[in-house]
A and B are shown apart, each in its own frame.
Chain A
């Protein structure tokens, strides 16, 4: 069930009405939202509801063990078992095929071929997201940031809550679960924020991301050998805007939908392409994943506290695993390695501030970082490594005619980049203006805005890019 569809609108209106009518009975509201979330997930593929439930039970049981024992070794063992089981499930569905294919290649090269047990494994949508949320719950209980819940339904709702279930943001247990203890006040709802984020997300997804995808990025990446340097450059800049608008749109709509139901999620994107360094970029891009990797991987590995060399290694390991989180393919590893290597080099050169100082220009730093990120996006987007290399080789071809620089493509790219340079309080100002308007004005504005997007948008909504992860 995609957000920008009539099916989701009907689903949401029903959930909104029933959940607020149950506000006097919090336990029932929780059970209802959990059931609705499972229905939402079953709409993709009902067979994986069992997997979602299994993941939840594993983490719930581990948290209960941690909460009920005084022995440090037992707590440690419980957290380790839960994390390993979570990763085994994730690994089987996501990496089994990749691992066997890679092993088959290696065996083939050394002349020791074997019949390996290949399986047709279907990737459950959202598995990377709900696995990381489950791990976050167990570790947060272990670190005593939150108390383990007695009621399995609390953990079920936290892990399956439908706005963020299939493509994030990866909400921390310590951010969400305490909200289940508070009764949302029906007279104090973040209606303005929720509505504006939903409208803004629809605009970014349906107009910017969709048209850039079909009219520009898909063409450039489908057959890069056909195009010259100008088209390929516009193609990768377009893809940078597309993936930002697509993914941040999902996050915005998820945050907006949750707000209308009385729950808050943190920001997941913060104008990433205005970053002046790679470390700055990772503080702005997919913040819920980058901060998850920092807190549950980079810092436990030792972070920057074990000497220079170890810091570089930790950065590279973290980003390589961040790349692998996106998918089981060498291209994602290269994408992670580029970012990890870039972060290590940036640190070796004396940190982001020093690098910005060398470029002597804030804008130049932004430009350089943006283009480095675009270089990495080529590996991320291309279907294979050889396609990515063909794409890069195409930058040497300046004689080919320009085909993709249509006025609309250029306008969409410029619009997608200008978003990044809007004042940081733009959302707050817009929300203030919206919320102070008479109710009927707000209602008509929302209706007309959606109708216009509907008119401009494609007939069939394309899935969000991050559904595949």
Chain B
């Protein structure tokens, strides 16, 4: 019996359709609003800025030199000073140091 004209294509499509349902990551997931995502992003950025003020200052220094970048560098240093006074920068450094101490453990 002759093969249908597009049999190869059909085999490919069937295989892909079967596979596709297994690859769907969205099935059963919850939906939220863009507003919720915005709040999460905003709070996340604030927390990073609180704890990693040093990283922020380093990033500001890497910007190409111009008046805006100069102002950003100054502001980031001022922010870093405040965070050091607040103590959050020390928490960040302590966590990092604890992990680096793990890295220095010798081979078994």
Contacts and interface: CB of A to CB of B under 8 A. Distances in A.
Interface in A168-211: 175, 186-195, 197, 211
Interface string A424-445: 0001100110011001101110
Contact of A295 (B16, B26, B34, B108): B16
Interface stretch (A111-119, A340-348, A356-364, A449-457): A449-457
Contacts of B28: 428
A211 B40 contact: no
B52 A192 contact: no
Interface in B1-60: 8-9, 11-13, 15-16, 19-20, 22-26, 28-48, 50-52, 55-56, 58-59
B105 interface: yes
B57 to A, nearest CB: 11
A302 B9 CA distance: 11
Nearest to B58: A459
Contacts of B96: 455-456
B37 to A, nearest CB: 5
B12 to A, nearest CB: 5
A447 B43 contact: yes
A454 B37 contact: no
A61 B34 CA distance: 36
Counting chain B residues whose Cβ lies within 8 A of the other chain, the interface size class is: 35 or more
B47 to A, nearest CB: 3
B27 to A, nearest CB: 8
Contact of B47 (A16, A192, A405, A448): A448
B102 interface: yes
Contacts of B82: none
- For chain B, what secondary structure do more than half of its interface residues adopt (helix, strand, loop), or is it mixed? helix
B48 A451 contact: yes
Given A16-B37, A300-B8, A406-B106, A193 B51 contact: no
A402 B106 CA distance: 10
A454 B52 contact: yes
Interface residues of A, number: 70
B99 A456 contact: yes
Question: Of B12, B13, B34, B103, which is in contact with the most chain A CB atoms at under 10 Å from its CB?
Answer: B34
11 contacts: A187-B31, A187-B33, A190-B26, A190-B30, A191-B31, A193-B25, A305-B11, A407-B102, A431-B29, A442-B36, A455-B95
Interface of B: 8-9, 11-13, 15-16, 19-20, 22-26, 28-48, 50-52, 55-56, 58-59, 92, 95-96, 99, 102-103, 105-108
